[in-house]
Amino acid sequence: MSFATATVPQQRSRLYRIIVNPSNLPAVLVWLFLVFYQTALAVTAFSPSAPFLILINTVALFFFVTRRDATRVGTKLEGAIALGGTFVASLLHGPEDVLPAPTVIQIAGLLGWFVSLLALGRSLGIVPADRGLVRHGPYRVIRHPIYAFEALFFLGMVVGAASVHNIIVVSSWAGLQVIRIFREERILGGYDDYRQSVRWRVLPGVW
C-alpha cells in the first residue's frame, strides 16, 4: 500500500512537468513545428537529410519532456541564449539540388549528431542545468559532440547552398553556442575532473 501511495504522486508530478508545466511549452511547440515542417518538406521535395532531421528532432523532443530532474539550473538569460542557439539554425535555406559532397558532409554530421543525442539521453535540456555528466560514447572524445556534429551538418548546408543569409544564420548559431558552452561548463558539477580527462570541447587539436 505504501509503495502504491508513494508512486501515484510521483507519476502525477512527472505528468504535470511533461504536459502542464508552461516552462516546457515554447521548446515543445518549436520542436513539434520542426518535426511537422520537415515531414512536409520530405513529402514535397526529396532530401537525403530530411528523414534524419525528423528522427533527431523527434528523439530530442522525447528526451526533453522525459529529462532527468536537475540539481542546478541556469538563469533566464542563459535559457534565452540556449533557446536561440537551439533553434536559430531552423532559419537556414536548404540547397535546391542534391550535390554529392555537401550531402556526404550533411549525412556524416547527422549520424554523429544522432549517436551523440542517444548518448546524452535524458540528460538533454535547453537551459544550462546539471543533470549529471555524460562520459560515454562520443563524450569520451570531445566534451560537446552534439554541437560539433551540428556544426558539421550546417557546414554541409552552407557548402550546398552558399548565401549571405545562410552564412549569417550559421555565424549567429556558432556565436550563441560558444556562449552556451561556457555557461554550461560553469554549472555542471564535477566538470573540472571531466575537463582533465577529455581535453577538447568541440574539435580535437583546435578547441
Average pLDDT over residues 26-45: 78
- What whole-number distance in Å separates Cα of residue 185 and Cα of residue 72? 12
Residue 89 lies in a domain: yes
- Count of C-beta atoms within a 10 Å radius of residue 110: 22
Residue 205 lies in a domain: no
Residue 204 lies in a domain: no
Instruction: Specify the number of domains making up the chain.
Output: 1
Give residue 96's pLDDT band: very low, low, confident or very high (50, 70, 90). Answer: confident
11 lies in which domain range? 2-197
Residue 207 lies in a domain: no
- For residue 21, what is the domain's CATH number? 1.20.120
- Count of C-beta atoms within a 10 Å radius of residue 38: 22
Mean pLDDT of the chain: 85
- Work out the percent of the chain whose per-residue pLDDT is above 90: 45
